[in-house]
Amino acid sequence: MTIETRQAIDPRHAKTFDTAALRAEFLMEGLFRPGEVSLVYSHYDRLIVGGAVPAAGTLELASAKETGTPGFLDRREAVVVNIGEAGTVTTGSGSHALGHRDMLYVGMGDGPLGFSGTGAKFYVLSAPAHRSLETRLVTIDAAKRVDLGAAETSNDRSIFQFVHPDVMESCQLVVGMTTLHGGSVWNTMPAHVHDRRSEAYLYIGLPEDARVFHMMGEPGETRHLVVKNEEGILSPPWSIHCGAGTASYTFIWAMAGDNVDYKDVDMVQMGDLK
């Protein structure tokens, strides 16, 4: 298992970064390595983001020095998303079969986590928790679906809410998935920020030669990152987070912070973007 620590970056510092520095601090590459658990520990809301690819064997996530606890989930909750073929996740309380794009919420204390399944590819998210809640599987069919946008504005999309107050209870993680339909390429535009929560993006479903231009930064001081399939973004509370692709795609969004109110955002007017 490998864990990389990312420090919190002040926006005044971030706007001085060149492309390489922006990518080093906010882009997450190489999360899905066969036979490995690869994690990023972020000082934004202590969010942990990463991947576990069991390949032909099994993997376990039992502890990590960075959490300062004997067990990884002793004071944390987690969400595991299967972005590959069918696989199995084991927790302290049982075994759970995950199909493609299903999500498993794992309550505080229900570790260790085990991963198996040839062809399975697990995206792992974790944040501190204040109480133990029941571990629960939410399939893609059981998620709350919200259709928004239009082809005319290049943002015809379906939002799937999994770990969300309208579906289930969590301590602070809010996790879902947005799929752009054919011909639509824009996500989260008009843009917003939410100073009460940080966010992580994972872009999936992109063709090998396609890219997403992910927009970040303060509304009046924007930057961009060029992102390929199965790469992630750490989005600070002070930053916008939106993007446009050279093809349609899906992205998994995950938030942690002071509340679980999905609609608690500060909208940015188009005229204020620079």
Residues placed in the known binding site for Zn(2+): 192, 194, 199, 241
Annotated binding residues: 192, 194, 199, 241
Distance separating alpha carbons of residues 175 and 260, to the nearest angstrom: 10
Q: Judge if the upstream peptide bond of residue 190 is cis by omega within 30 degrees of 0.
A: yes
Tell me whether strands 197-204 and 231-235 are parallel, antiparallel or unpaired: antiparallel
Closest Cα to residue 233, out of 169, 170, 188?
A: 188
Buried b (16+ CB within 10 A) or exposed e, 62-90: ebbeebeeebbbeebbbbbbbbbeebbbb
Q: Of how many residues is the chain composed?
A: 274
**Contact indicator for 253, 165 with CB cutoff of 8 Å:** no
Torsion of CA 177, 38, 67, 195, to 10 degrees: -40
